[in-house]
Amino acid sequence: MKKKFKDTEIPLPPFWGGYQVIPLKIEFWQGRPNRLHDRFLYTKLDENDWKIERLSP
Protein backbone atom coordinates (compact mmCIF):
# COMPACT_ATOMS: atom_id res chain seq x y z
CA MET A 1 0.00 0.00 0.00
CA LYS A 2 2.88 2.37 0.75
CA LYS A 3 4.20 1.85 -2.79
CA LYS A 4 0.76 2.07 -4.41
CA PHE A 5 -0.14 5.42 -2.81
CA LYS A 6 3.40 6.80 -2.48
CA ASP A 7 2.86 9.88 -4.65
CA THR A 8 -0.90 10.35 -4.30
CA GLU A 9 -3.57 10.76 -1.65
CA ILE A 10 -5.43 7.68 -0.51
CA PRO A 11 -9.00 7.85 -1.87
CA LEU A 12 -11.76 7.81 0.75
CA PRO A 13 -15.47 7.20 0.35
CA PRO A 14 -17.43 10.48 0.05
CA PHE A 15 -19.45 9.72 3.20
CA TRP A 16 -16.36 9.47 5.39
CA GLY A 17 -15.76 12.39 7.69
CA GLY A 18 -13.80 13.03 10.77
CA TYR A 19 -11.82 15.39 12.89
CA GLN A 20 -8.13 16.03 13.22
CA VAL A 21 -7.20 16.07 16.90
CA ILE A 22 -4.13 18.16 17.70
CA PRO A 23 -3.41 17.98 21.44
CA LEU A 24 -2.01 20.99 23.25
CA LYS A 25 -1.85 19.25 26.63
CA ILE A 26 -1.74 15.58 27.60
CA GLU A 27 -1.87 14.26 31.15
CA PHE A 28 -0.58 10.81 32.05
CA TRP A 29 -1.84 9.27 35.27
CA GLN A 30 -0.70 6.06 36.91
CA GLY A 31 -2.54 4.93 40.01
CA ARG A 32 -0.76 3.38 42.96
CA PRO A 33 -2.22 1.45 45.88
CA ASN A 34 -0.91 3.98 48.44
CA ARG A 35 -2.83 6.84 46.74
CA LEU A 36 0.40 8.64 45.82
CA HIS A 37 -0.48 8.58 42.13
CA ASP A 38 2.03 9.56 39.46
CA ARG A 39 0.76 12.41 37.28
CA PHE A 40 2.67 14.09 34.46
CA LEU A 41 1.46 16.96 32.29
CA TYR A 42 2.94 17.41 28.80
CA THR A 43 2.29 20.87 27.30
CA LYS A 44 3.11 21.54 23.64
CA LEU A 45 5.45 24.49 23.19
CA ASP A 46 6.08 24.34 19.45
CA GLU A 47 6.34 21.85 16.59
CA ASN A 48 8.90 19.57 18.26
CA ASP A 49 9.05 20.62 21.91
CA TRP A 50 6.98 19.66 24.94
CA LYS A 51 7.23 20.94 28.50
CA ILE A 52 6.98 18.12 31.05
CA GLU A 53 5.69 18.83 34.56
CA ARG A 54 5.23 16.37 37.39
CA LEU A 55 1.92 17.19 39.05
CA SER A 56 2.09 14.68 41.88
CA PRO A 57 3.17 13.12 44.17
- The one catalytic residue among 32, 35, 39, 54: 35
For residue 39, what pLDDT is reported?
93
What distances in angstroms separate CA 15 from CA 12, 18, 42, 54, one per listed residue?
8, 10, 35, 43
pLDDT of 50: 96
Contact partners, residue 30, CB within 8 Å, separation at least 6: 37, 38, 39
Q: Among this protein's residues, is 35 annotated catalytic?
A: yes
**pTM across the whole model:** 0.63
Q: Tell me: the pLDDT tens digits for 46-55?
A: 989 999 999 9
Q: What is the pLDDT of residues 1-36, one digit of tens each?
A: 889 999 998 888 999 888 989 999 999 999 888 878
d(CA 48, CA 42): 12
Structural domain boundaries of the chain?
Answer: 25-56
pLDDT tens by residue, 35-49: 788 999 999 999 899
